[in-house]
Amino acid sequence: MRVLVVGSGGREHALCWAIRRSKACEALYCAPGNAGIAEIAECVDVAADNVKDIVAFSRDRRIDLVVVGPESSLVAGVVDQLSQAGIRAFGPTARAAAIEGSKVFMKEFCARHGIPTAEYARFDEPEAAKEHILRHGAPVVVKADGLCGGKGVIVCRNENEGFAAIDHLMIEAPFGDACAQVVIEELLTGEEASFFALVNGHRALPLASAQDHKPAYDGDHGPNTGGMGAYSPAPIVTEALTETIMADIVRPTVAGLMQEGRPYCGILYVGLMISEDGAKVLEFNARMGDPECQPLVVRLKSDVLEVLAACTDDRMEDIRLEWDSRPALTVVMAAHGYPGPYRRGSEIRCLDRVRSLDDVVVFHAGTRLDDGKVVADGGRVLGVTAASETIEAAQRRAYEAVDLIDWPEGFCRRDIGWRAIARAQA
């Protein structure tokens, strides 16, 4: 097959890495790609949300399957346009991707279909939102309605923090129209986990679990980010809980989308808060998570390309998922300042040192080539991923690799995987 992967982040590098290993892969392209992807695929100078040029390139190069990574591309309708052009594409349509594209839609959808989630209210006026916090108190979570790259969610421990979050999102509007409405939710407590299902229409097949680390700094301190690291599997997601999540959340979601004329095809991500009361939905994503994708593809032993093609072609009965029993862990290296302002263009040295380590892969996220040098070109820049017999060993191996990389302009959390390690040591 001739394959085009759309996107330029760590998720897309991981997908390209896995697809390149498939015997069915005849040619691999990525639009626009990054410095790491360029080593294994032909990068195309087309932006991920440039729907017209993606369709034109796919037609000109006789692409057999387009795999869409970023949520912005899905919400922009790239799958719709590819399908209309007769080109196979893995991912949901724009109408189905609204499950991620609008938090207001997502919350109202959950209410319509009885899917467990936090209590909420929606607002399009700052003063009304503040009055709600005054009446109901804090803590609360304030969320921008639209896509904000993982940075539109603010946990507010008191009323003043809530007011400041509303001013930031609705008045300063750092994410433009995505901030026109906000959702204010009760703050759920427990342990978060990421749950993934492969979906086509009425049918859903669970993938391995994972756990992300959203806050920027050790101990889960600091502002929320797009994700500072992840590991798979998440020990809290037991076989019994998997069945419950499928029965109470995933299948009703898939059925509800079909019922509302939004049939879903692709990977459905469910961000969960798990407590003694069970699992509740924090968010849905219409694609593979990032950085969760990285440890997942490292653990997946099945042919990724064959799996994606079978899902796209509605051949779910042909899919056989085989997983490496060993855990895998990803440490994200980010530019100083992230998730706030950061500088681009610093050189990343000594990446070759990591190649000598067994069961370690460095996935590039925000990088580009500049005169043959790999330089930082984003907030989250690298995803150093390791697999080993235990989660503790995978963590040690990942940080061993991190310490071989010479990039003083970057930083990382040093505690990725701490919850799983604490469970293993208990």
What pLDDT was estimated at residue 224? 87
Report the C-alpha gap between 295 and 217 in whole angstroms. 20
Distance from C-alpha of 179 to C-alpha of 191, rounded to nearest angstrom: 27
Q: Indicate the domain borders of the chain.
A: 2-93, 125-180, 191-318, 328-425
pLDDT digits (tens, 9 = 90+) for 41-94: 999 999 999 999 999 999 999 999 999 999 999 999 999 999 999 999 999 999
**How far apart are alpha carbons 347 and 181 in whole angstroms?**
39
Average pLDDT over residues 323-344: 97
pLDDT digits (tens, 9 = 90+) for 80-106: 999 999 999 999 999 999 999 999 999
User: Tens digits of per-residue pLDDT, 401-417?
Assistant: 999 999 999 999 999 99
Please check the confidence at residue 150 and state whether its pLDDT lies above 80. Answer: no
- DSSP tally for the chain: helices H, then strands E: 14, 23
- The architecture (CATH level 2) of 2-93 comes to 3-Layer(aba) Sandwich (3.40)
Q: Which two tokens stand for residue 24?
A: 């069915």
**Exposed, middle or buried: residue 261 (CB in 10 Å: 0-12, 13-18, 19+)?**
exposed
* Measured CA angle at 135 (ends 134, 138), to 5 deg: 60
* pLDDT single digits (tens) 341-388: 999 999 999 999 999 999 999 999 999 999 999 999 999 999 999 999
Residue 397 has pLDDT above 80, yes or no: yes
Q: 10 Å Cβ neighbour count for 196?
A: 24
CATH superfamily of 125-180: ATP-grasp fold, A domain (3.30.1490.20)
Cis omega (within 30 of 0) for bond into 70: no
Average pLDDT estimate for 303-327 = 96
Instruction: Give the torsion through C-alpha atoms of 152, 156, 161, 164, to 10 deg.
Output: 20
CA distances in angstroms from 102 to 133, 155, 250, listed in the order given: 22, 19, 18
Task: State residue 425's pLDDT score.
Answer: 87
pLDDT value for 202: 87
Helices (H), 24-124: 51-60, 71-75, 78-84, 94-101, 103-113
Task: Report the mean per-residue pLDDT for the chain.
Answer: 96
For residue 332, what pLDDT is reported? 98
Q: Each residue of 255-284: pLDDT tens digit?
A: 999 999 999 999 999 999 999 889 999 999
| Third-level CATH fold of 328-425 | Glycinamide Ribonucleotide Synthetase; Chain A, domain 4 (3.90.600)
Q: Is the bond preceding residue 139 a cis peptide, omega within 30 degrees?
A: yes
| Sign of the torsion formed by the C-alpha atoms of 245, 249, 252 and 256 | negative
SS3 assignment, position 133:
helix
Report the percent of the chain where pLDDT is more than 70: 100
CA pseudo-torsion sign 51, 56, 59, 61: negative
- CB hemisphere CA count around 261 (13 angstroms): 0
The CATH class that applies to domain 191-318 reads alpha beta
Mark 88-117 as b/e (b = at least 16 C-beta within 10 Å).
Answer: bbbbbbbbbbbbbbbbbebbebbeeeebeb
When pLDDT is averaged across residues 166-182 and rounded to a whole number, the result is 95
Asked whether the predicted pLDDT for residue 218 surpasses 90, the reply is: yes
Residue 162 has pLDDT above 80, yes or no: yes
Amino acid at 378: G
Residue 332 corresponds to which tokens in the numbers above? Answer: 């994200």
Residue 135 parent element (H or E):
helix 126-136
CB 180 within 8 A of CB 145: yes
Measuring CA to CA, how many Å separate 19 from each of 5, 265, 271, 306? 9, 19, 25, 9
Same fold, 191-318 and 328-425: no
